[in-house]
């Protein structure tokens, strides 16, 4: 009898709909506007030349430099493999499989729900309101058994900031029962909206950060989890023994120098300028129904026929992210902000749409 390896897989894994990353559905384009990456890069030279020893689990020099950058105590920081590892670590540390739940508010980043499904943790799905703000009343009613509430701000894929008043309410409602996880992957594009200063007041607040977006280091896979020192201690017992390769911590440390932070801030200014230009040009096109306000490095656009637009751009080598299948996002496409010449090429091709 032929051995069927799938019989050994966990039931929830066999039933899992995996996350479709930008690279999995990339295509053969030459202009990549589908993964919210930076089109502008830095070059780094490794300072470390020997790799025969295991790296520090939590590189002290890197943590100190990031602590100085965000103005919090080093004992409130955990370095992770991108913000994605932080999302998963929290579930592994705080949620009992098949007992506890997370709250997930679509349309938002799908990996919150995907990770929960992989780990066998219940997902309490509470869609956002039609203005893409949190449905606080519905969240309040689902408090039983909820350990983690994931909030993306700016939200991916809609691009909007979540109302601070609503986050404040949720932090207070769940002050003794749940962690409120605010994913600030794109916060450098609207840095005044960061909630890092709230960490002193709310011991149940967790903030996720990454070097993938504004720092233009998506290929590095380095992120940070900011939280109360006791949360960091618990997560430190769960994280892999050597999560960060030496070259990663080396380059991340360099990226957080004063010089490179200044370069990052100038990059943000340039991309925000490109965004304003692109929004104005898109609004003038007949095929565009609406361009939504964005506080991130991408914009959400509703087209007359998003599938046709998506295929046209794909054929012309411009890869964007179709959002048509998500709640409230019918006929929508998410477009990452590219270099200025890429934005111009995008508009020139969309002008051909009839």
Q: Which of 43, 39, 34, 30 is nearest to 270 (CA)?
A: 39
What are φ and ψ of residue 349, in 5° steps? -75, -40
pLDDT at 222 exceeding the cut of 90: yes
Q: Which of 218, 337, 187 is nearest to 272 (CA)?
A: 337
Q: In a 3-state reduction of DSSP, which class is residue 343?
A: helix
- Calculate mean pLDDT across residues 60-66: 98
Which range (138-147, 169-178, 225-234, 271-280) has the least confidence?
138-147
What are φ and ψ of residue 294, in 5° steps? -135, 135
> Each residue of 22-46: pLDDT tens digit?
555 656 678 999 999 999 988 999 9
Question: What pLDDT, on the 0 to 100 scale, is given for residue 25?
Answer: 63
> Each residue of 183-219: pLDDT tens digit?
999 999 999 999 999 999 999 999 999 999 999 999 9
Per-residue 3-state assignment (H helix, E strand, C coil) for 89-113: HHHHHHCCCCCCEEEECCCCCCHHH
Of the chain, the percentage scoring pLDDT greater than 70 comes to: 96
pLDDT at 78 exceeding the cut of 80: yes
> Each residue of 238-252: pLDDT tens digit?
999 999 999 999 999
pLDDT at 21 exceeding the cut of 70: no
Question: What pLDDT, on the 0 to 100 scale, is given for residue 331?
Answer: 97
Kindly state the helix (H) or strand (E) to which residue 318 belongs, with its residue range.
strand 318-319
Half-sphere exposure of 237 (CA within 13 A, CB side): 8
Kindly state the helix (H) or strand (E) to which residue 248 belongs, with its residue range.
helix 246-255
Question: What pLDDT, on the 0 to 100 scale, is given for residue 82?
Answer: 96
Q: Which residue has the tokens 């270099």?
A: 339
Domains of the chain and CATH, by start: 5-40+260-350 (3.90.1150.10), 60-258 (3.40.640.10)
Question: What pLDDT, on the 0 to 100 scale, is given for residue 354?
Answer: 60
Question: What pLDDT, on the 0 to 100 scale, is given for residue 12?
Answer: 76
- Calculate mean pLDDT across residues 257-285: 98
- Calculate mean pLDDT across residues 115-144: 94
Cis ω for the linkage preceding 4 (within 30 of 0): no
b/e sequence 25-42, b meaning 16+ C-beta within 10 Å? eeeebebbbbbbbbbeee
Question: What pLDDT, on the 0 to 100 scale, is given for residue 6?
Answer: 78
Cα separation of 105 and 91, whole Å? Answer: 16
Q: Which residues contact 308 (CB under 8 A, 6 or more apart)?
A: 353
> Each residue of 311-348: pLDDT tens digit?
999 999 999 999 999 999 999 999 999 999 999 999 99
Averaged pLDDT of the chain? 94
CA distances from 78 to 101, 219, 224, 228 (A): 23, 19, 6, 11
């Amino acid at each position: 009898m032929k051995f069927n390896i799938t019989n050994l897989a966990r039931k929830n894994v066999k039933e899992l709909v995996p996350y479709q990353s930008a690279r999995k559905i990339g295509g053969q384009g030459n202009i990549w506007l589908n993964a919210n990456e930076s089109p502008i890069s830095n070059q780094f030279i490794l300072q470390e030349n020997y790799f025969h020893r295991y790296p520090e689990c939590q590189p002290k020099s890197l943590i100190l430099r990031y602590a100085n950058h965000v103005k919090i105590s080093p004992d409130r920081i955990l370095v992770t493999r991108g913000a994605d590892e932080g999302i998963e670590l929290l579930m592994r540390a705080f949620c009992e499989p098949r007992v506890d739940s997370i709250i997930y508010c679509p349309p938002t980043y799908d990996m919150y729900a995907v990770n929960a499904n992989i780990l066998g943790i219940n997902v309490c799905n509470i869609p956002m309101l039609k203005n893409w703000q949190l449905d606080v009343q519905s969240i309040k009613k689902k408090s039983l058994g909820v350990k983690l509430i994931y909030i993306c701000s700016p939200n991916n894929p809609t691009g909007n900031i979540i109302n601070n008043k609503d986050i404040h309410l949720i932090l207070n409602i769940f002050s003794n029962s749940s962690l409120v996880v605010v994913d600030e992957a794109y916060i450098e594009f609207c840095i005044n909206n960061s909630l890092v200063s709230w960490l002193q007041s709310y011991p149940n607040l967790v903030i996720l950060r990454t070097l993938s977006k504004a720092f233009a280091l998506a290929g590095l896979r380095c992120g940070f989890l900011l939280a109360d020192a006791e949360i960091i201690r618990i997560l430190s017992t769960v994280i892999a023994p050597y999560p960060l390769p030496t070259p990663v911590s080396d380059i991340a440390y360099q990226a957080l120098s004063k010089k490179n932070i200044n370069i990052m801030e100038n990059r943000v200014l340039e991309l925000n300028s490109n965004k304003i230009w692109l929004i104005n040009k898109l609004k003038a096109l007949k095929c565009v129904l609406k361009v939504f306000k964005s506080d991130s490095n991408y914009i959400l656009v509703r087209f007359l026929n998003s599938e046709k637009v998506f295929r046209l751009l794909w054929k012309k080598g411009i890869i964007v992210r179709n959002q048509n299948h998500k709640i409230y996002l019918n006929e929508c496409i998410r477009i990452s902000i590219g270099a200025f010449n890429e934005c111009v090429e995008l508009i020139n091709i969309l002008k051909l749409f009839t």
